[in-house]
């Protein structure tokens, strides 16, 4: 099942700290992690999901997204963060629903190219201790 970690995200993760893709000019406090900006086309969202060990999709400026990001950062994960503008919200939600086969709400986390869940699931699995092994298995965490 485990496929090799795509080169791009591996490089970015080991580089540490923040790295920015060329099409994301603004700074924003998203709670840390790399910052990506989604384009309109469907493939772009799909690409983000597949190419990143951990990626968090959330509304721009959303405090709950901030919570997810801070929690992941606190664990030593460097999550990719996709801040979705209001206008693109519906489109992105639709696309993510298609990818994952279910109803999606922001903020939403994808791990290892698959849907992981929202803040609820992140919290529950964190408390039960399941979260860290899952992250390690997806290559989001080393140690």
Residue 17 or 129 with smaller CB distance to other proteins: 129
Among 41, 74, 85, 90, binds other proteins (CB under 8 A): 74
Task: Tell me which H or E stretch contains 133.
Answer: helix 131-137
Least separation in angstroms between CB 131 and other proteins = 9
Q: Are 136 and 130 in contact (CB under 8 A)?
A: no
Lay out the sheet containing 34-36: strands in order across. 34-36, 80-84, 54-59, 108-111, 114-117
User: Is position 71 an interface residue for other proteins (rule: CB under 8 A)?
Assistant: yes
Q: Does 79 bind other proteins (CB under 8 A)?
A: no
From the list 22, 88, 79, 84, the residue with the least C-alpha distance to 56 is 79
**Is 128 an interacting residue with respect to other proteins (CB under 8 A)?**
yes
4 binds other proteins (CB under 8 A): no
Give 16's contacts (C-beta < 8 A, 6+ positions apart): 78
Conformation bin of residue 28: beta by default, left when phi > 0, alpha when psi is -120 to 50? beta
Contact status: 17 vs other proteins (CB under 8 A)? no
Site for other proteins in 95-124 (CB under 8 A): 119-120, 123-124
How many residues touch other proteins (CB under 8 A)? 21
Pairwise CA distance, residues 78 & 36, whole Å? 13
Nearer to other proteins, 127 or 143 (CB): 127
Q: Which residues sit at the interface with other proteins, rule CB under 8 A?
A: 29, 31, 61-64, 66-68, 70-71, 74-75, 119-120, 123-124, 126-129
């Amino acid at each position: 099942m485990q496929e090799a970690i795509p080169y791009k995200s591996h490089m970015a993760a080991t580089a540490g700290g923040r790295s920015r893709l060329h099409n994301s000019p603004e700074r924003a406090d998203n709670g840390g992690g790399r910052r990506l900006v989604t384009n309109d086309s469907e493939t772009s969202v799909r690409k983000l999901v597949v190419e990143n060990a951990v990626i968090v999709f959330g509304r721009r400026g959303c405090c709950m997204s901030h919570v997810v990001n801070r929690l992941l950062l606190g664990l030593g994960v460097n999550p990719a963060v996709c801040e979705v503008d209001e206008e693109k919200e519906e489109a992105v939600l639709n696309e993510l629903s298609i990818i994952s086969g279910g109803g999606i709400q922001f903020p939403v986390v994808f791990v290892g190219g698959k849907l992981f869940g929202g803040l609820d699931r992140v919290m529950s699995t964190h408390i039960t201790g399941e979260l860290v092994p899952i992250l390690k298995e997806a290559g989001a965490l080393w140690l």
